[in-house]
Amino acid sequence: MATPSSTLAGKRILLGISAGIAAYKSALIVRLLKQAGCEVRVVMTEGAQAFITPLTLQALSGEPVRTSLLDPEAEAGMGHIELARWADAILIAPATADLIARLVNGMADDLLTTLCLASEAPKLIAPAMNQAMWRHRATQRNIALLAEDGWQPIGPGAGDQACGDVGPGRMSEPEEIVTSLFDRLASSAMTAADTRNRHVVITAGPTREALDPVRYLSNHSSGKMGYALAAAAHAAGAKVTLISGPVSLATPSGVTRIDVTSALDMHTEAQRLAPTADLFIACAAVADYRAEHVAEHKMKKRGDSETLTLTLVKNPDIVAEVAALAAPKRPFVVGFAAETRDTQDYARDKLTRKGLDMIVANDVSQAGLGFGSDDNAAWLLWRTPEGVESDTQPPQPKSALAETVIQRAFDLLDTSSSMSLSPTPPGAS
């Protein structure tokens, strides 16, 4: 495991432990955190105490272990609120299916869930359970919802399980968990001075291009990736405006949302807001064409005709127009490319042709990734003064990919601001 940065020494970590055989690994997590210079306080559920004793964790952490919400001594001074405010980060390892279900429903029926509800600190969770329980649709739905709420899942891994089954559900190893925690804390560190005054504008979801009062042209975009980006940008401390096409998603906490329907609507809002932005992310799946004429009334079948001819006209290229803005109105511009073949070739072409600073490309033909799914994989491509660099992101929750994209964009924005990196003009080779 890489040695954590010295800037992370002294971080206050609240470790939650729920009932699972993997609880024995939590002792090593405490040890690793202490070796890194963190302060550690442990909170155990009632069931966790059947697998590892509070005394063991007290000896390793050097702090009393909390096990009850109704501890008269601790709660004399509203101890659970004090503990929630104390934490720089909350890590739950292991997290059972039951605990995950209670967290996603906002329950506060024991000390650990109450602390999670009362704390605004970054939260990470390491699931551990039987492979069938992990694969169950309810658990997959719950972990996806937790990720949308800002939790960062770690793992689980796959392999032999205590029950004799083989498959996914093993808690990730302590070293991997601690590394993920350090990465999250390092990412969260760029709040305050780095992002407090930054404005991020993001487009998300599909557009609908009317044919008549009943019908329209659209696509399969659910908006999940764009909304995850908005949540990640807000978590990084930025002011976020989300220009959203028609989706059935809740607005991320702290994000200003502007609803639009058509590509022309989205174009109008993007042109209005882009000059106020430091970072513009075009994640929406904007229709390339719209009907030349929208019928005033519902179109009817025309006798015995087997065909219907529609004349379509090109919609404005929103991201290219934003990228073509002149300084100082031009933000740092990130585009998306959803492809079904030759993903990297098309992404390189789009990066150059549209004058973007960075592009996130994904193959939406892969099962379980892209449109409508909770996971995504991507190829990140960006320009630097030295040329073009890239990075491959494997399949992962969209919330995790969003954090990577936002971190990368902010890092590049810092570099371009300090070095006055000029964009490649559209059409340049």
pLDDT-based confidence at residue 74 (cuts at 50, 70, 90): low
Co-location of 75 and 142 in the same domain: yes
Distance CA 212, CA 192 (A): 49
**37 falls within a domain:** yes
**Does 314 appear as a known binding residue?**
no
User: Of 229-238, 287-296, 321-330, 419-428, which gets the smallest average pLDDT?
Assistant: 419-428
User: Could you tell me the CATH number of the domain that includes residue 64?
Assistant: 3.40.50.1950
Distance CA 174, CA 149 (A): 24
Which one-letter DSSP state was computed for residue 252?
P
How many domains is the chain partitioned into structurally? 2
Q: What is the dihedral of CA 339, 344, 347, 348, to 10 degrees?
A: -160
3-state secondary structure 337-349: EEECCCHHHHHHH
> What's the pLDDT score for residue 77?
42
> What's the pLDDT score for residue 195?
55
pLDDT-based confidence at residue 71 (cuts at 50, 70, 90): low
Question: What order do you get walking across the sheet with 332-339 strand by strand?
Answer: 256-259, 239-244, 199-204, 279-282, 332-339, 358-363, 375-384, 387-397
> Can you tell me the mean pLDDT for 272-295?
95
Mark which of 188, 212, 239 sits at the end of a domain: 188
Co-location of 388 and 282 in the same domain: yes
* Residue whose C-alpha is closest to residue 287's, from 350, 346, 216: 216
Is it true that the peptide bond before 385 is cis, omega within 30 degrees of 0?
Answer: no
**Does 354 appear as a known binding residue?**
yes
> Can you tell me the mean pLDDT for 103-131?
92
**152 falls within a domain:** yes
Distance CA 38, CA 230 (A): 30
Co-location of 263 and 336 in the same domain: yes
Q: Is 390 helix (H, G, I), strand (E, B) or coil?
A: strand
Q: 301-353 pLDDT, tens per residue? A: 877 778 888 999 999 999 999 999 998 899 999 999 887 788 888 899 999 99
Mark which of 166, 188, 210 sits at the end of a domain: 188
**427 falls within a domain:** no
Which one-letter DSSP state was computed for residue 309?
-
Contact 30, 61 (CB under 8 A): yes
User: Could you tell me the CATH number of the domain that includes residue 322?
Assistant: 3.40.50.10300
Say how many CA atoms lie within 13 Å of 139 toward its Cβ.
19
**Does 336 appear as a known binding residue?**
yes
Say how many CA atoms lie within 13 Å of 345 toward its Cβ.
3
> What's the pLDDT score for residue 85?
87
Contact 112, 92 (CB under 8 A): yes
**Does 357 appear as a known binding residue?**
no
Co-location of 171 and 274 in the same domain: no
Bridge-partner residues for 82, per DSSP? none
Co-location of 171 and 202 in the same domain: no
**294 falls within a domain:** yes
Co-location of 227 and 175 in the same domain: no
- Tokens 């302590």 found at: 174
Spell out a b/e string for 120-141, using b for 16 or more CB atoms within 10 Å of the CB, else e.
ebbbbbbbbbbbebbeeeebee
> What's the pLDDT score for residue 73?
59
pLDDT-based confidence at residue 214 (cuts at 50, 70, 90): very high
Q: What percent of the chain has pLDDT over 90?
A: 58
Co-location of 291 and 399 in the same domain: yes
Mean pLDDT computed over every residue of the chain: 87
pTM across the whole model? 0.56
Co-location of 204 and 140 in the same domain: no
Contact 143, 153 (CB under 8 A): yes
- Tokens 């029950």 found at: 163
> What's the pLDDT score for residue 83?
87
- Tokens 């960006």 found at: 382
What's the one-letter identity of residue 135? R
Q: Is the pLDDT of residue 425 over 80?
A: no
**386 falls within a domain:** yes
**Does 81 appear as a known binding residue?**
no
Distance CA 112, CA 290 (A): 52
Co-location of 162 and 215 in the same domain: no
- Residues with Cβ within 8 Å of residue 74, at least 6 apart in sequence: 66, 68, 80
Contact 159, 166 (CB under 8 A): yes
Mark which of 136, 153, 188 sits at the end of a domain: 188
Task: At 284, list the tokens.
Answer: 């929406």
Q: 241-257 pLDDT, tens per residue? A: 999 999 999 999 899 99
Q: What percent of the chain has pLDDT over 70?
A: 89
Q: Where are the beta strands (DSSP E) in 129-171?
A: 152-153, 157-160, 166-170
> What's the pLDDT score for residue 8?
57
**Does 98 appear as a known binding residue?**
no
Task: At 47, list the tokens.
Answer: 């069931």
> What's the pLDDT score for residue 76?
42
- Residues with Cβ within 8 Å of residue 84, at least 6 apart in sequence: 114, 115, 118, 119, 121
Distance CA 51, CA 48 (A): 6
Q: Is the pLDDT of residue 421 over 50?
A: no
Q: Is the pLDDT of residue 193 over 50?
A: no
**Does 149 appear as a known binding residue?**
no
- Residues with Cβ within 8 Å of residue 330, at least 6 apart in sequence: 274, 275, 322, 323, 324, 423
Co-location of 132 and 249 in the same domain: no
Co-location of 127 and 47 in the same domain: yes
**261 falls within a domain:** yes
* Residue whose C-alpha is closest to residue 405's, from 372, 373, 428, 382: 382
Co-location of 347 and 294 in the same domain: yes
Q: Is the pLDDT of residue 200 over 50?
A: yes
* Residue whose C-alpha is closest to residue 170's, from 76, 95, 220: 95
Residues taking part in catalysis: 163
**138 falls within a domain:** yes
User: Of 156-165, 231-240, 328-337, 420-429, which gets the smallest average pLDDT?
Assistant: 420-429
Spell out a b/e string for 355-375, using b for 16 or more CB atoms within 10 Å of the CB, else e.
bbbbbbbbbbeeeebbbebbb
**428 falls within a domain:** no
**Does 71 appear as a known binding residue?**
no
Domain limits for position 114: 6-188
